Amino acid sequence: MRIEEGIKLGFKDVLIRPKRSVLKSRSEVNLIRSFNFRYSKYIWSGIPLIASNMDTIGTFSIAKVLSNFHVLTAIHKHYELTCWKNFISTASKNLLNYIMVSTGISDIDYEKLKKIFSLSSSLNYICIDVANGYSERFLDFVKRVRNDFPEKIICAGNVVTGEMVEELILSGADIVKVGIGSGSVCTTRSKTGVGYPQLSAVIECADAAHGLNGQIISDGGCINSGDIAKAFGAAADFVMLGGIFSGHNECEGVIVKKDNKKFMLFYGMSSHYAMKLHIGKIESYKTDEGKVVQVLLKGTVKNTIMDILGGLRSSCTYVGARNIKELTKRTTFIRVLEQENKIFNLQ
Ligand code: 5GP
């Protein structure tokens, strides 16, 4: 047994220090960024936010709205091929530019992925997603996908440490997804004792990825646009969001009524609820690592994304950054023991 003494930080442990700036207005900030990748030759431009590939969040309806804002959606892996056919037959090239196709690592998942990609050459992103990205089998799968899809942008995760980020990039990933236990409906930390505070995971993993011309996605733990700015400040290239996008009209969650109010179910993809829904059972050797919550209906996701983008532009002006790359360069974090004033949250 060994103890690492250096303290690891989460978003709640820091704030971004304001800096002098020559920017006159938030309208001068451009959140669109262009990326070159280590393997794929495709140059992608857009706002590097991603709706998570959870089955109530990574929906075709969410993608249709977010693509208008140049934001990505990782479509969840549970849509049938016929749903994909319908979607692609009506989707513009612009919409497909903001789509990631998610897959697990089983043979059935892989067959479906290949069929989805045979439907359109305008699909660019593959998101290989497992709860625990530390297995040999996962690395072998990433190698296989890189071999079969040399031109596509491959994201793979999740991991939280630099050595595994390097291993994944060397195995063929352009982008590594970072985050274990930080999600809003995740119970991994209490069930297993495993995890890594998200801000430190991002700082360490971004450093490892950038040294190999790779990128990272900060996945999980953002509860507001301030946290998203902190993730970019910590050098995340992309930020993935689940809970923030939950409970909207475009989510495909079950609606329940309580005290004359409408709520939508939002749940972890490893929750008992999701496993029953998609697999029909939980194997006797497994436990759930996600929870189910009821979210008050929030209306259209358009308002939420506009609010997030407005917040990010404001973060940039506070440090004098014209774009997200400059936000990273100009970020100095201060460690804090307080965040916002909560007096009116107690009511
Ligand atoms: P959020 O933005 O809601 O804080 O985090 C979203 C992320 O939580 C997802 O993108 C995914 O990585 C993670 N996640 C989703 N469902 C589960 C789950 O059931 N268990 C765990 N451990 N993580 C989950």
Ligand 1 centre to CA of 263 (Å) is 20
- Ligand 1, residue 54: give the atom nearest the CA: 15
pLDDT > 70: what percent of the chain?
A: 99
Looking at residue 121, what is its pLDDT?
96
Confidence of residue 294 (pLDDT cuts 50, 70, 90): very high
Looking at residue 23, what is its pLDDT?
86
Q: Is 188 in contact with 221 (CB distance < 8 Å)?
A: no
* CA neighbor of 238 nearest in space, from 304, 328, 116: 328
222 lines ligand 1 (CB under 6 A): yes
250 lines ligand 1 (CB under 6 A): no
- As a dihedral over the C-alpha atoms of residue 277, residue 50, residue 290, residue 276, rounded to 10 degrees, the angle is 10
Per-residue pLDDT averaged across 14-40, rounded?
95
Token pair for residue 207? 């450093």
Looking at residue 346, what is its pLDDT?
63
Q: Output b/e per residue, 152-165; b: 16+ Cβ within 10 A.
A: bbbbbbbbbbbebb
Q: How far apart are CA 115 and CA 22, in angstroms?
A: 51
pLDDT of 162-195, one tens digit each?
A: 999 999 999 999 999 999 999 999 999 999 999 9
pLDDT of 62-116, one tens digit each?
A: 999 999 999 999 999 999 999 999 999 999 999 999 999 999 999 999 999 999 9
Q: How far apart are CA 56 and CA 180, in angstroms?
A: 20
Per-residue pLDDT averaged across 51-63, rounded?
98
Q: How far apart are CA 63 and CA 25, in angstroms?
A: 29
- Ligand 1, residue 288: give the atom nearest the CA: 19
List active site positions. 186
Looking at residue 291, what is its pLDDT?
97
Q: Is 213 in contact with 38 (CB distance < 8 Å)?
A: yes
Ligand 1 centre to CA of 127 (Å) is 15
Ligand 1 centre to CA of 196 (Å) is 14
Looking at residue 25, what is its pLDDT?
85
- Number of residues in the chain: 347
- Ligand 1, residue 220: give the atom nearest the CA: 5
Ligand 1 centre to CA of 317 (Å) is 30
Residue 339 has pLDDT above 90, yes or no: yes
Cα three-residue angle 158-164-170, rounded to 5 degrees: 105
SS (H, E, C) 211-270: CCCCEEEEECCCCCHHHHHHHHHCCCCEEEECHHHCCCCCCCCCEEEECCEEEEEEECCC
